[in-house]
Each structure stands twice: as structure tokens, then as C-alpha cells.
Structure 1
């Protein structure tokens, strides 16, 4: 049985045009929520404790806001502009909570190209119901040279409890 290897290919500064857009989609699993808490150190009980969260304004556990923000980073790094991109600046406005099993789609749109390969992109993050959960803008240095490479394989991480 052969394994299908994914390729990452960037979009260079010269290839980008104002109005270009791209998407990145991910679903929040229990494992990812717990791993994000472990990696970030943010163990706020609204993310991890069902009884505590039930008494909160959200009435259930919610994702870390920065998990949604990290999807923007992933979209910039792997989709548009992709490998070789240097992240400079990010604004984020959290519009509604993200819950377990929500599927988020990040849409990046090129707003402006500036000298020295600088690019400003709008960042629109929506859940599976097309409700906006995060809005913002990112500023990056887009790569000047074309890169195409095999997507790195991550180790399988399991949560022990």
C-alpha cells in the first residue's frame, strides 16, 4: 500500500494579485483542544472542565480563541502565500465562540501589495454554519522564490489521562 504524500507549494509575491483568495479548513477535536491547552499553557477551565463551562456565559466548553488564530497562521504558512512566508503582524477580532467539533474555514484575501514583498491579507474565519468567528488582517513578507516540497509528516501524538 503506497502512501499519498502531500506537496506544499507557495505563491510568490510576483504571482499574488489583489483580490486573490485561498482557504484552509480544520475541525476542532477533543484531542486538539487538550493539546492546544498543553502547548499554550492556557488551562482556563472554560476550555477543559464541562461542569465549570456549563455555568459560564457559553453554557459549554469552548475553544481557545488563539486556536482559531493559529489556523490563520497555518493558512498563511501552507496555502497562501505558503512556504517561505514571514509573518509580521496580525489583528484579530473574536466574533463568536468556537465549540468542539466545529469545522472552521479560514479565507485569506490579498488586500494590498506593498514594496519589499509586503502583502496585507484579510482573514475571515467561519464555522460550518457560515457564521463568522474571527475577523482580522495579516501582514506578511511573501516569498520571492518558488518553493515546492513534501509536506512534513508529524508524529502521532496521543493524550494520556
Structure 2
């Protein structure tokens, strides 16, 4: 039998961060994604967005923080396996993120399967106005030591 996750349905982790132009530029440098919709204000001004937008992967990266918060919570409660991401699913970018937006990443455990040592969580990232910018699901798995 696999080790229990020590998490419960309904548990929530949240992380809030303001995204600024320097963050967007840094992500472009780190990722190598220098698409002008992210990096060129003159180009972006002529798009449907009217200005530069944050990368979807940048926004999604905030959810890694919330998954790590759940992992640490599980280990602190006695989980013996190593929590790892088993994958993200049904990710949807529903609204652009602009420099100056304050985002809150929310991770809500929807299913706990201690028999398989996994959890499934509902994900969302909302901006300062409460608008959902990203939605999806995540599987967290606990891997037994070798």
C-alpha cells in the first residue's frame, strides 16, 4: 500500500504576487520566449491586447508555488513519500495578464486517493478584480523512497 498524502479534500493554498514589467522581461530572458507581444510595447500596442502581456507559462508558474505549499504541508504532517507533480491538465488561459496586475494563485484539493498516493486539485489564477486569468487541474503524487 502506498503512503497516505496527509491532505484532505477542500484544503486550499494561495499565493499572491504583483506582476510588473521587469518580471515579464525576466521571464522572456529566462525562457527564451521573446515574442513581441510580451517584449515590444510598440508591437503590443497594435494587438488586440493594446499592451504587453505576461507569458502564459509565467502565470502558470505561480501555481508551482501553491503545489509546493501543499507538498510541504503534507510532509510536515508526516507523509513519507516525496511529493512530485504528476502533471497539469485542462489548462485554460481565460484572460490576459498585464504588468501591474496583482495575481492570486489558488490551489484547492478536490480529490484525495491515498490508495494511489495522489491528489487532484482545481487551479485558478485571478487578478485584482477577481477575474479568472487561468483555470485547470493538477495531479500531485507521492513517490516512495527507493
What's the CA shift string for 1:58-106, capped at 9, x where partnerless? 01110001111101112112x1133753011102100000000111101
Does the alignment pair 1:18 with 2:15? no
C-alpha displacement of 1:141: 1.3
Counterpart-to-counterpart distance in 1, 2:142 and 2:98: 32
Instruction: Name the SS for the 2:103 alignment partner.
Output: strand
TM-score with structure 2 setting the length = 0.83
- Structure 1 contact 76–85 (Cα < 8 Å) conserved: no
Counterpart-to-counterpart distance in 1, 2:29 and 2:103: 21
Instruction: Name the SS for the 1:93 alignment partner.
Output: strand
Instruction: Name the SS for the 2:9 alignment partner.
Output: coil
Q: Which aligned runs of 4 or more in structure 1 are off by greater than 2 angstroms?
A: 81-85
Unaligned segments of structure 2, at least 5 residues: 76-81
The correspondence for 1:54, drawn from 45, 50, 58, is 45
Q: Name the structure where helix makes up a greater proportion of residues.
A: 2
Counterpart-to-counterpart distance in 2, 1:59 and 1:131: 18
Counterpart-to-counterpart distance in 1, 2:5 and 2:65: 18
TM-score with structure 1 setting the length = 0.76
* CA RMSD in angstroms, aligned pairs only: 1.7
C-alpha displacement of 1:142: 4.4
Unaligned segments of structure 1, at least 5 residues: 1-11, 145-161
Counterpart-to-counterpart distance in 2, 1:58 and 1:23: 27
Aligned position for 1:4? none
